[in-house]
Amino acid sequence: MLCENCGKRPATLHFTKIINGQKNEYHLCEQCAKEKGEIFSSSSESFPFHHLLSGLLNFDQMVEEHPLYTNPESQRCETCGLTFSQFKKMGKFGCSDCYKYFELQLEPIFRRIHGNSQHIGKVPLRSGKSIKLKKELSQLKAILQQKIALEEFEEAAKLRDKIRALEHKISESRG
Amino acid sequence: MAVERYLQNAISDWMCDDGPESDIVISSRVRIARNLKDHPFPLLATDSQANAVINKVSETIINGKMKQIGNFDLILLEDLNDLQKKVLVEKHLISLNLANESRKGAVTLSENEAISIMINEEDHIRIQCLYPGLQINQAWEMANKIDDILEKDLDYAFDEKRGYLTSCPTNVGTGIRASVMVHLPALVLTNQMNRLVPAITQVGLTVRGIYGEGSEALGNLFQISNQITLGQSEEDIIRNLHGVVNQIIELERQSRRNLVEEKRFQIEDKVGRAYGILSNAKIIDSKEAAQRLSDLRLGIDLKMIKGISASVVNELMVMTQPGFLQYIANEILTPEERDIRRATIIRKKLLEIK
């Protein structure tokens, strides 16, 4: 497609403008767009990703109404000293404890980036052993409820023994 | 010095084998990000804290249970000059970020260069596994295995709810980035990429140029990778990417068939011209070289050109990058000098084969 302004160069910018409900589509080349003041930044310089991220991080109205809300800008990770506003600027955490200290503000951010905020993937084999067992335990308990509801008591009894053994294992692994 | 052996050849040992679907898929890569508990992330670490991480991690890799995977060499970035770093980036053995941004960065490389473990990049540990062709499952299995071995000796920063904790919130959870590098000349030629890219983005994947974030798609090469790391299991992420890449391969093959059927002369002409220019040009810039090499590769894949293997094209793609050119020349070259050297290297290589 050629630029609709000069008709010479290929149109590289395609956008829709809605002014007072009036919708218009535009197809321009970079040069014409620049001349018409329609360009936001030169596309030759790539837009730094962390700016985009800090854009995302600026939506914290959602948590402002939360009872535990304190001004997030002044919130600080007590392990590494990073403040929330520094985090927003860099788009990077200072240490793994930042996740704990900024937990409240992070929830909507994770949802925005990943569409999700709960990890369901791999768990470390050694240090995650008790986490893994706990997950298994809650799964077994759910199945047990089903079996009871279905009145399959023989199965349920087997499950109950399994759950007991697992609970024992978990309390042992805690030492 | 240990690093020299990793710089000499433009093409890594692992790339010499043809992988599955190698007419379209150049390579598959899985990278996982891990951090140590109770250590500040590299961004905020002092030099001594960063050195402590290097010592701890490299000790595990070089002397620990990693022996069952292979032998590794430790390379400290501060011991390298700019050209050496550039070559490692051009061979995809380290990231641009490790080369340019890291203080106290290091990398451990396996002898065949298929495994690279970066230390003190954005995260303490980044395990990267590379395989030729479409072998994304194999790459994940290897990375997963290495991760398990390292975790025996290292305490990771892990949270039940958020998963593996990373320096950037875009990597948290699984910490995995799986990517496949594909050569899509027919889809570019038939203007289908503009439609394909938004579709790929909609299913949670991204398309980038060959040197990662913000890089240009040189020579019709694209990297397709997962975007989301939290809330999906590793297996789902790999399966999703694999499924989409399979579809892209099918689309590219279909476009190639259509081109050959409908525009055989035009394609043969394009390929022939590329071969003519590459074997005769005295000056060639990197953009043109990448485009002509892509055309040549298409000709090889379509059996229009015989007697040249695709791996020669892969090799030339890396050999003609600015860093490698200057490393071979052993001096800093102006862009004009590089264009002359580039043309010479390509001419010589194509003459050798004849």
Rounded distance, CA A113 to CA B202, Å? 14
Identify which of B155, B214, B233 has the shortest CB distance to residue A127: B155
Residue B118, marked binder: no
Look at residues A131, A128, A69, A62 and name the one whose alpha carbon lies nearest to residue A102. A69
Enumerate the residues of chain B whose CB falls inside 8 A of the CB of residue A96. 35, 37, 41, 157, 159, 165
Identify which of B155, B160, B167 has the shortest CB distance to residue A93: B167
Rounded distance, CA B171 to CA B279, Å? 44
Enumerate the residues of chain A whose CB falls inside 8 A of the CB of residue B41. 80, 92-96
Measure A8 CA to nearest chain B CA, in Å: 19
Rounded distance, CA B239 to CA B250, Å? 17
Residue of chain A whose alpha carbon sits nearest to that of B41: A95
Give residue A100's pLDDT.
94
Give residue A127's pLDDT.
77
Cβ distance A91 to B165 less than 8 Å, yes or no, reads no
Per-residue model confidence as pLDDT tens digits over A152-174: 899 899 999 988 988 888 777 65
DSSP tally for chain A: helices H, then strands E: 8, 2
What ipTM was predicted for this assembly?
0.87
SS3 A159: helix
Q: In this structure, which amino acid lies at residue B246?
A: N
Residue A128: which pLDDT band, with cuts at 50, 70 and 90? confident
Residue B6, marked binder: no
What residue segments make up the domains of chain A, in order of their start?
13-45, 49-114, 128-174
Residue B179, marked binder: yes
Are the beta carbons of B218 and B208 closer than 8 angstroms? no
Cβ distance B168 to A92 less than 8 Å, yes or no, reads yes
The more confident residue out of A64 and B252 is B252
What residue segments make up the domains of chain B, in order of their start?
1-17+29-173, 263-352
Give residue A57's pLDDT.
64
Rounded distance, CA B221 to CA A152, Å? 58
- What CATH number has the domain spanning B1-17+29-173? 3.30.590.10
Decide if pLDDT at A47 tops 60.
no
Angle of helix B335-353 relative to helix B310-319, nearest 10 degrees?
Answer: 160
Give residue B102's pLDDT.
84
Give residue B99's pLDDT.
94
Look at residues B235, B237, B181 and name the one whose alpha carbon lies nearest to residue B209. B181
Bridge partners, residue A48, by sequence: none
DSSP B327-353: HHHTS---HHHHHHHHHHHHHHHHHHH
Enumerate the residues of chain A whose CB falls inside 8 A of the CB of residue B166. 93
Q: Tell which B residues from 215 to 244 touch A, by Cβ distance under 8 Å.
A: 228-234
Give residue B97's pLDDT.
92
The pair phi, psi for residue B45, each rounded to 5°, is: -70, 145
Cβ distance B173 to A114 less than 8 Å, yes or no, reads yes
When mean pLDDT is compared over A47-61, A77-91, B118-132, B210-224, the highest value belongs to B118-132
Enumerate the residues of chain A whose CB falls inside 8 A of the CB of residue B44. 80, 82, 94-95
What is the bridge-based pairing of β-strands A22-28 and B106-110?
A: unpaired
DSSP assigned state of B208: E
Give residue B1's pLDDT.
52
Residue B29, marked binder: yes
Rounded distance, CA B248 to CA B136, Å? 15
Task: Take residue B225 and report the two structure tokens written for it.
Answer: 């990778």
Tell me if chain A has a CB within 8 Å of the CB of B173.
yes
Give residue A92's pLDDT.
95
Tell me if chain A has a CB within 8 Å of the CB of B155.
yes
Strand locations in A35-123, DSSP E?
none
SS3 A48: coil
Give residue A49's pLDDT.
56
Enumerate the residues of chain A whose CB falls inside 8 A of the CB of residue B176. 121
Give residue A43's pLDDT.
39
The separation between CA A28 and the C-alpha centre of its own chain, rounded to angstroms, equals: 35
Residue of chain A whose alpha carbon sits nearest to that of B153: A126
Give residue A73's pLDDT.
63
Rounded distance, CA B89 to CA B86, Å? 5
pTM, whole model, 2 decimals? Answer: 0.80
Residue ranges in chain B modelled with pLDDT below 50: none
Give residue A38's pLDDT.
62
Residue B209, marked binder: yes
Residue of chain B whose alpha carbon sits nearest to that of A108: B169
Tell me if chain A has a CB within 8 Å of the CB of B100.
no
Residues in chain B: 354
SS3 A14: strand
Give residue A46's pLDDT.
44
Give residue A101's pLDDT.
94
Residue A72: which pLDDT band, with cuts at 50, 70 and 90? low
Can you list the alpha helix ranges (DSSP code H) found in chain B? Answer: 4-7, 47-63, 82-90, 96-100, 136-153, 185-189, 193-202, 234-280, 286-301, 310-319, 322-329, 335-353
